[in-house]
């Protein structure tokens, strides 16, 4: 159990880490509340972006100045016109261990990374089946269905039994970190001998999560080429929206008997880089968080994510007990949010309004909750949620890094509000 005092001490360290990246750090008092933590972080990140522009004014889109040396903290960049050839030197966002090497291509967002990769796969893999688990990210489903005609979408159904066996067409598995825990575990119990490529969306897992290592061990066992795609806006910025940044990491196994896998990875990386160039999807140097990579950063990130996961487990247990009939999904693989359903079916408009109303009412009572998209904040965030598999709408509650007592109080308040704002099941 973390006290409010210990929480504020930890947040003071996070704010200090961000603030020390400024050329002239701001004079900020030690935070006394969650609201002061949130305000300080967003204030500093805005100052960091401005600082970057003032410092690297020569590093323009047209690369007009030969003397430009653009950088963002530990990241150093080299590029020509429009960053089509962007090269990045800097700390990794993952810990892949000694068993594998990798190549990283940075993009303007997580969706830019996966879009470029899927379009590039046409030149290396050709027509193929792309296998997606129930509960996969809705926009990825939409992307494959509407814009990637060489890939035939196969939405897998539970129970998963021998679904990854060899087939007439090449098979790509898209393993999404936002699937339910049960579905995610079921996939890992299957053999992977029939897969030609694994695309692993790690956005909802911390960069040093043991779950990532587990997936890589599974893929390596079956010699499956792996590309990890990620949005770095979520868990990699210490709870502040620093900038839109995505990546595709091409994992390369080191053993000689995995030569075909290595060749696939190398060729796919070349084509993906070309797709990023043609789509204009290269990353912006100013969007690389300058506070990434230090021992202090990793320690604070680990503690943040651990607190979020603890709070998520507590919320899931509470809702399972107090709102069993109104809980939609309480056990996502990532543990970062839960979803609530209405007594009557919600659509996008009613789910959005419910999220806004709940945040307004509970925020007015002093709770740190806001109607906001995404997750990983220092406040609880509500938003409408669409399950692309079932086509049902619900309200998503993104778990935050808050002290235990405050989080437990907010969880109970959410349950009371949600139960009290659902129509009587016996009514019209």
One domain, residues 144 and 32 = no
**CATH number of the structural domain spanning residue 399:** 3.90.1150.10
Side by side, which strands form the sheet with 197-201?
100-107, 246-253, 226-231, 197-201, 171-176, 128-132, 151-155
Q: What pLDDT is attached to residue 245?
A: 97
Which of 226, 259, 287 terminates a domain? The answer is 287
* Domain around 273: 71-287
pTM of the model: 0.93
Look up tokens 């990637």; give the residue: 148
pLDDT in tens, the chain (428 residues): 889 999 999 999 999 999 999 999 999 899 999 999 999 999 999 999 999 989 888 888 887 777 778 899 999 999 988 888 999 999 999 988 765 778 999 999 999 999 999 999 999 999 999 999 988 998 999 999 999 999 999 989 888 887 898 889 999 999 998 899 999 999 999 999 999 999 999 999 999 999 999 999 999 999 899 999 999 999 999 998 899 999 999 998 866 556 667 778 889 999 999 999 999 999 999 999 999 999 999 999 999 999 999 999 999 999 999 999 999 999 999 999 999 999 999 999 999 999 999 999 999 999 999 999 899 999 999 999 999 888 899 999 999 999 999 999 999 999 999 999 987 665 54
One domain, residues 340 and 226 = no
Structure tokens at 123: 């030149």
Greatest distance between any 2 Cα atoms in the chain: 73
Residue 185 resides in a domain = yes
Residue 122 resides in a domain = yes
Structure tokens at 203: 């956005």
One domain, residues 208 and 335 = no
Query: DSSP letter at 346?
Result: B
One domain, residues 235 and 275 = yes
Q: Which residues contact 230 (CB under 8 A, 6 or more apart)?
A: 93, 110, 113, 201, 202, 203, 246, 247, 249
Q: What pLDDT is attached to residue 15?
A: 97
One domain, residues 28 and 94 = no
Look up tokens 């935050």; give the residue: 400
Residue 148 resides in a domain = yes
User: How many structural domains are present in the chain?
Assistant: 3
One domain, residues 223 and 166 = yes
Residue 64 resides in a domain = no
For 126, counting Cβ atoms within 10 Å of its Cβ (0-12 exposed, 13-18 middle, 19+ buried), the class is exposed
For 425, counting Cβ atoms within 10 Å of its Cβ (0-12 exposed, 13-18 middle, 19+ buried), the class is exposed
Residue 114 resides in a domain = yes
Residue 41 resides in a domain = yes
One domain, residues 113 and 197 = yes
One domain, residues 305 and 272 = no
**CATH number of the structural domain spanning residue 114:** 3.40.640.10
One domain, residues 274 and 308 = no
Residue 270 resides in a domain = yes
Structure tokens at 65: 């100045």
One domain, residues 124 and 201 = yes
One domain, residues 91 and 235 = yes
Which of 230, 253, 287 terminates a domain? The answer is 287
Residue 139 resides in a domain = yes
Which of 287, 313, 342 terminates a domain? The answer is 287
One domain, residues 346 and 270 = no
């Amino acid at each position: 159990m973390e006290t409010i005092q210990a929480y504020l001490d930890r947040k003071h360290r996070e704010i200090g880490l961000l603030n020390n990246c400024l050329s002239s750090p701001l004079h900020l008092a030690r935070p006394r509340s969650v609201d002061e933590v949130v305000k300080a972080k967003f204030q500093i990140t805005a100052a960091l972006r401005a600082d970057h522009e003032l410092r690297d004014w020569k590093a323009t889109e047209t690369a007009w100045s030969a003397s430009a040396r653009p950088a963002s903290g530990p990241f150093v960049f080299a590029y020509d016109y429009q960053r089509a050839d962007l090269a990045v030197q800097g700390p990794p966002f993952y810990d892949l261990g000694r068993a594998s090497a990798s190549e990283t291509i940075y993009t303007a967002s997580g969706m830019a990374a996966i879009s470029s990769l899927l379009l590039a796969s046409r030149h290396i893999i050709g027509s193929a089946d792309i296998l997606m688990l129930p509960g996969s990210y809705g926009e990825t489903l939409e992307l494959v269905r509407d814009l990637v005609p060489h890939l035939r979408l196969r939405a897998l159904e539970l129970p998963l039994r021998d679904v990854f066996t060899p087939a007439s067409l090449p098979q790509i598995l898209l393993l999404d970190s936002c699937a339910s825990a049960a579905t995610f575990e079921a996939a890992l119990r299957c053999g992977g001998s029939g897969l030609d490529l694994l695309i692993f969306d790690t956005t909802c897992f911390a960069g040093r999560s043991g779950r990532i290592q587990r997936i890589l061990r599974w893929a390596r066992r079956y010699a499956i080429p792996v590309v990890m795609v990620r949005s770095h806006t979520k868990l990699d910025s210490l709870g502040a929206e620093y900038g839109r940044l995505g990546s595709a990491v091409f994992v390369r196994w080191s053993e000689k008997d995995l030569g075909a896998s290595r060749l696939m990875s190398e060729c796919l990386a070349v084509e993906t880089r070309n797709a990023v160039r043609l789509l204009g999807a290269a990353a912006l140097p100013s969007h690389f968080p300058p506070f990434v990579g230090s021992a202090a950063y990793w320690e604070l990130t680990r503690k943040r994510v651990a607190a979020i996961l603890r709070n998520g487990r507590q919320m899931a247990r509470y809702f399972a007990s107090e709102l069993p009939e109104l809980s939609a999904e309480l056990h996502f693989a990532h543990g970062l949010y839960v979803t609530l359903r209405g007594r009557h079916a919600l659509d996008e408009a009613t789910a959005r309004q419910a999220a806004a109303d709940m945040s307004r009412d509970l925020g007015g009572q002093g709770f740190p909750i806001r109607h906001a998209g995404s997750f990983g904040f220092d406040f609880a965030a509500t938003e409408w949620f669409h399950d692309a598999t079932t086509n049902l709408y619900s309200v998503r509650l993104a778990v935050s890094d808050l002290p235990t007592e405050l989080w437990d109080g907010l969880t109970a308040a959410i349950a009371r509000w949600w139960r009290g704002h659902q129509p009587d099941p016996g009514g019209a």
